[in-house]
Amino acid sequence: MGVGESAVAFARLCIESEVRGTAAPAMPTEGFGDPRGVFVTINEFPSEDLRGCIGYPYPVMPLGDAVDSSARSACHDPRFPDLSPGELDKVVVEVTVLTVPDEMEYDDPRSLPGMVHIGEDGLIIEFKGRRGLLLPQVPVEWGWDAETFLRHLSMKAGLPPDAWTWEGTRIWRFGGEVFSETSPCGEIVKREI
């Protein structure tokens, strides 16, 4: 089992531990000591409706600690009620392991849509302390083009849809590998975005 598959299995154990109030699982060792950015997503099955998604865009801690913290926090995503024990066999777990975000350089914000690669780039926006992030798989799942992606990114930060065009707005891009259960507690696969 590779690091991505192990990350999903470990995230599932952390989620079950958090929801049931049981002892923390043993952390995998191989490949989990390097600092990495990561997001853990919990989706309802089979609808694939979002149930929780929390993570770290920057490599601020070892991968194992980032998966553990993100998985536990995703159970309490403030957009939803806390995940309950009765939901554990009705959700699938997904882990996105990120590359380090790189700030995009441009002279004219109207050139930004042409610089964004749908299915490859996740984006972070920042304007006067407000920040928003969307993972690389989000525009693919919703069928967005690059400009629609930027508009939703702006709104994710609590800004108007055109904030990506404003002077002083900063945008970063990052890549990610997505690993997911195919069914609750089922086979873990690398997802093509």
Report the C-alpha gap between 191 and 193 in whole angstroms: 6
Q: How confident is residue 94, by pLDDT bands cut at 50, 70 and 90? A: very high
Q: How far apart are CA 105 and CA 189, in angstroms?
A: 34
147 φ/ψ angles, rounded to the nearest 5 degrees: -70, -40
pLDDT digits (tens, 9 = 90+) for 156-165: 999 999 999 9
pLDDT exceeds 90 at position 178: yes
| Domains (range + CATH), the chain | 3-99+176-191 (3.30.700.20), 102-174 (3.30.1490.150)
Per-residue pLDDT tens digits for 5-47: 999 999 999 999 999 999 999 998 888 999 999 999 999 999 9
Note the pLDDT of residue 1.
73
At position 67, the amino acid (one-letter code) is V
Q: What is the pLDDT of residues 69-79, one digit of tens each?
A: 999 999 999 99
CA distance 2 to 143: 30
Q: What is the pLDDT of residue 29?
A: 85
pTM for the model stands at 0.92
Residue pair 123/111 in contact by the 8 Å Cβ criterion: no
Token look-up 């801690």 returns: 61
Q: How far is Cα 67 from Cα 83, in angstroms, rounded to an integer?
A: 17
pLDDT at position 193 is 81
Q: pLDDT at position 20, please?
A: 97
Residue 192: per-residue pLDDT:
86
CA end-to-end distance (rounded Å), the chain = 21
The CB density around residue 89, as the number of other CB atoms within 10 Å, is: 10
**Which tokens sit at 100?**
């380090």
